[in-house]
């Protein structure tokens, strides 16, 4: 059927929008690196057995971030699927080599926010607890293991409160991993008696139907050049954590004081040595 001459013209077809708009999640961009605000619940890359049906991963969308370069950026490090926040990408081979060395040498400063179950004793400390693989059948699951790899985390309480859903005590922590072991923060918090809220592996959360993992890569500082100030990025608190952060005293304002330095190793420590 032909259209009537007075009919309005058909609306142009809208291009398919990507399932994940990474450009809108950029926290920093320069000629060497990008820093993304990674959403919780999305793996950074395909698993060893491939993607699950209907599942996406961040690497599928890195071609959105070429910005004139011939190749898409690549991961400089990783975050767990259910962890949100600052994620660094290298824009080319030389940048990736530099970033890889900085991460390996522990020169990249990382601060995480976590909401944990329970009441930490004291307000700050250091956890010095070696970690090893749980067993071969559990993949990357980890455990405290005196024969494992040395693992250290600084922690500081930013606020305390009660979970509005259960009335149970919770605490808002800043966590600074000195080493970078798999699941380090999750296992260290569990070993101290205050597992991260929403953790179905090391905490009390159910595998399905429970709250999401309350672990967020809040701030990252990358010293890319000796002649320039380090690159610093801060990722806003993710929506799924805001209710419990407010219950612990967070006012919803992104304040620099929330990223104040943690105690130096060995200073005022309270924790497991």
**The pairing of beta strand 142-144 with beta strand 74-75:** unpaired
Q: Is residue 4 part of a domain?
A: no
Q: Is residue 47 part of a domain?
A: yes
What is this structure's pTM? 0.84
Q: Is residue 103 part of a domain?
A: yes
Residue 124 burial (CB count, 10 A): 18
Whether 7 is catalytic is no
Provide the pLDDT for residue 32: 98
Count of the separate structural domains present in the chain: 1
Q: Is residue 9 part of a domain?
A: no
Q: Where are the alpha helices (DSSP H) in 35-108?
A: 93-104
Report mean pLDDT in 10-residue bins for the chain, 273 residues: 43 55 97 98 81 81 97 97 98 98 97 98 97 72 88 98 95 97 95 96 81 97 95 98 98 57 42 33
Q: Are 175 and 112 in contact (CB under 8 A)?
A: yes
Provide the pLDDT for residue 52: 64
Q: Is residue 125 part of a domain?
A: yes
CB under 8 Å to 233, separation ≥6 — which residues?
A: 27, 28, 35, 86, 219, 220
Distance CA 142, CA 151 (A): 12
Tokens of 235: 């990722």
CATH label of the domain that carries residue 156: 3.30.2350.10
Annotated active-site residue in 80, 82, 109, 128 = 80
Q: Is residue 14 part of a domain?
A: no
Provide the pLDDT for residue 137: 60
SS3 of 208, please? Answer: coil
Q: Is residue 171 part of a domain?
A: yes
Q: Is residue 135 part of a domain?
A: yes
Distance CA 232, CA 44 (A): 21
Domain that holds residue 185: 23-251
b/e for 141-168, b at 16 or more Cβ within 10 A? ebbbeeeeeebbbbbbbbbbbebeeeee
The residue with tokens 């139907």 is 209
């Amino acid at each position: 059927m032909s259209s009537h001459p007075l009919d309005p013209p058909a609306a142009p077809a809208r291009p398919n929008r990507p399932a994940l708009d990474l450009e809108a999640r950029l926290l920093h961009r320069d000629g060497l690196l990008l820093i993304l605000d990674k959403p919780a619940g999305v793996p950074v890359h395909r698993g060893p057995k491939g993607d699950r049906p209907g599942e996406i991963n961040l690497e599928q969308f890195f071609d959105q971030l070429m910005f004139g370069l011939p190749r898409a950026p690549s991961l400089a490090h990783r975050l767990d699927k259910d962890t949100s926040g600052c994620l660094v990408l290298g824009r080319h081979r030389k940048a990736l080599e530099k970033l890889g060395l900085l991460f390996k040498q522990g020169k990249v400063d990382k601060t995480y926010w976590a909401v944990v179950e329970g009441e930490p004793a004291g307000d700050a400390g250091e956890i010095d607890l070696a970690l090893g693989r749980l067993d071969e059948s559990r993949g990357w699951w980890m455990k405290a293991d005196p024969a494992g790899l040395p693992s250290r985390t600084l922690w500081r309480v930013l606020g305390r409160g009660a979970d509005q859903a259960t009335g149970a005590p919770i605490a808002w922590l800043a966590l600074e991993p000195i080493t970078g072991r798999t699941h380090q923060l999750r296992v260290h918090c569990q070993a101290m008696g205050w597992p991260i809220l929403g953790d179905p592996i090391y905490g009390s959360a159910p595998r399905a139907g429970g709250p999401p993992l309350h672990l967020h890569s809040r701030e990252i500082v990358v010293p890319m050049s000796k002649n320039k100030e380090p690159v610093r990025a801060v990722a806003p608190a993710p929506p799924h954590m805001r209710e419990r952060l407010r219950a612990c005293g967070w006012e919803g304002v992104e304040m620099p004081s929330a990223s104040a330095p943690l105690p130096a190793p060995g200073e005022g420590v309270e924790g497991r040595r």
